[in-house]
Copies of this chain bind each other. A is one copy, B any other.
Amino acid sequence: MKDELKSVLMAEMTWPEYAAALKDNPVVFLPTGALEQHGPHLPMGVDHLLPTAIARDIAEEVGGVVAAPVTYGYKSMTRSAGGPFFPGSTGLDGQTLSHIVRDIIRELVRHGARRICVLDGNYENLWFLNEGIDLAMREVGPTGLRVMCLQHWEFLTEETLGQVFPEGYPGIELEHAAVLETALMMHYYPQLVRFDLVPDNDAAAAPCYDVWPPRRDWVAPEGSLISAKGASPEKGALIAGQYRRDITAAVKREFYELG
C-alpha cells in the first residue's frame, strides 16, 4: 500500500517482508527496557523508547531488523533509578526477564536469524539479559549464532561527554532521567518531553552499597538523580549521531568483520 511501510520494525513488517529480510542473515536487534519513573519531565517508557529508536538508527545503517521491544525490565534499584518509591516503576523478577530473552532468542534462531544484538536501555537489566542469552546459547547449541549485548551509554566518548557537559561530567551513576536521557528523548521523541518540568534537584548521594528495605533519602523527591536542565535537542542529536557511528561500527566489526 504505502512506501513508508518499508519499516525495519518487525512489529510493523509482514511476515513475507521479514522472511525476505532474513535471507541476508541480517542483524536482528532486540531493544530491551523498562516501564519506570524518569522524573517529572520524562515519560515512564524512556528505557524502552530510547533503545528502540537507537536500534532503528543502527538497523538502517547495517540493513538490520528491529524486533518488538521488551517493554518491561528488571526492578528499579534505589541508587540507580529511584527504587520502589515512585509509582509506575514496574519491575519483573530477574528470572522472568532472563526467560523472556532466552525465549525470544530461541525463536529468532528458529526463524533463521544468526546475528542478534540485544540493545538495552535499562541499567538494571544487564545481568539478567546476560543470563538469558547464556541460557539461549546453551539451548540452541552449535548453530553459528552470535549474540552481542550492549547498553547504549557505554559507547559515549570523552569527546561527546565534553560537549554535552561543558562544566564536567558528573558520572554515569547519576544519569537517570538526567541530561543524557533527556537530551536523547528531546531528539527522538520531543512530544513526550515536558522540559518545563525538569527539576532543579541536587545530585543524589547514595553510598556504595545497597540496603533492603531501601532508604528514601538516597534519591531526590523528584526521582531524577541529578538535574537535567542542561539537556537540549541539539545535544540529543549529537549523542544519537555518535551512537549511530560508533555502535554501527561495533556491530559491523562483531558480526561482519571478525566473523
Contact = CB atoms under 8 A, between A and B. Distances in A.
Interface in A145-188: 145-151, 154-155
A48 interface: yes
A113 B74 CA distance: 20
B254 A211 contact: yes
Interface string A47-84: 01100000000000000000111111011010000001
Interface in A183-202: 191-197
B71 A70 contact: yes
Interface string A189-227: 001111111000000000111111101000000010000
Count of this chain's copies in the oligomeric assembly: 6
Contacts of A210: 130, 148-150
Contacts of A192: 5, 12
Most buried by B among A124, A137, A192: A192
In this complex, the interface size class of chain A, counting residues with CB under 8 Å from chain B, is: 35 or more
Nearest to A75: B134
Given A13-B43, A45-B11, A99 B88 contact: no
19 contacts: A1-B197, A2-B194, A12-B43, A12-B44, A13-B43, A14-B41, A14-B194, A15-B44, A19-B88, A72-B104, A93-B99, A94-B95, A94-B127, A95-B95, A128-B131, A130-B210, A146-B213, A149-B209, A150-B209
